[in-house]
Amino acid sequence: MSMAVVIDTDHKHWTEADLRTIPDDRNRYEIIDGELFVTPAPSLWHQELSASFFLAIRPYLKAHGIGNIVYAPADVVLADDTVLEPDLFVFPPIKGKLPARWEGAAGLLLAIEVISPGTARVDRTVKRRRYQQEGVPEYWIVDGDARIVERWRPADDRPEIISERLEWRPDPERPGLTVELPALFAAALGD
């Protein structure tokens, strides 16, 4: 089971520079407000769900020129002491070369986390609050066990729980995206 753990070291307050000194060991390292979190490499079903959401969203973004979707590992740098690595995130179109990392959440259109039992608490509390604080328009928590998506927006006290048809319209001037969740979950998880 993957477990997101706060690492207690001699560091009192981690920064992006500190994070860059950690050797690549296939774990996922994130810092949130100076605290270091580590999560082991994701499971196969986690990766299948991430890939399924990526494949559902990418053609829509390309067809309508709305933005780019990126999958982990890729950093979202919110502050010197906050570097997150969502499973997937969407940002507006960029002319020219894509950046190696995304700095600041102001332009993010969507962040997605596929939870596992060990990451659920951090994804639903610490990360969620930070994305809301940064004004990310939508944060989706994908729960493969429950076959639902929890949709959070910046002002929400509770998530919208979606189990059937997920509709997303990041640009009111363009058509929205509809994802049939039962079919997506069944295909990804082999049901």
Which tens digit of pLDDT belongs to each residue from 140-172?
999 999 999 999 999 999 999 999 999 999 999
**Strand locations in the chain, DSSP E?**
5-6, 28-32, 35-39, 68-71, 76-79, 82-84, 88-91, 102-103, 110-114, 139-143, 148-152, 160-162, 165-168, 177-180
Q: What is the pLDDT of residue 59?
A: 96
Q: What is the pLDDT of residue 167?
A: 97
Which residues on adjacent β-strands are paired with residue 133? none
pLDDT over threshold 90, residue 71: no
In terms of C-beta density within 10 A (0-12 exposed, 13-18 middle, 19 or more buried), how is residue 124 classed?
middle
pLDDT over threshold 50, residue 105: no
Q: Walk me through the domains of the chain, giving residue ranges and CATH numbers.
A: 43-189 (3.90.1570.10)
Q: What is the pLDDT of residue 46?
A: 85
> Which has the closest alpha carbon to 53: 93, 89, 27, 85?
89
Ranked by mean pLDDT, which of 87-91, 102-106, 118-122 comes out on top?
87-91
Per-residue pLDDT, averaged over 86-115, amounts to 75
pLDDT confidence tier of residue 98, bands split at 50, 70 and 90: low
Q: What is the pLDDT of residue 153?
A: 96
Q: What is the pLDDT of residue 1?
A: 40
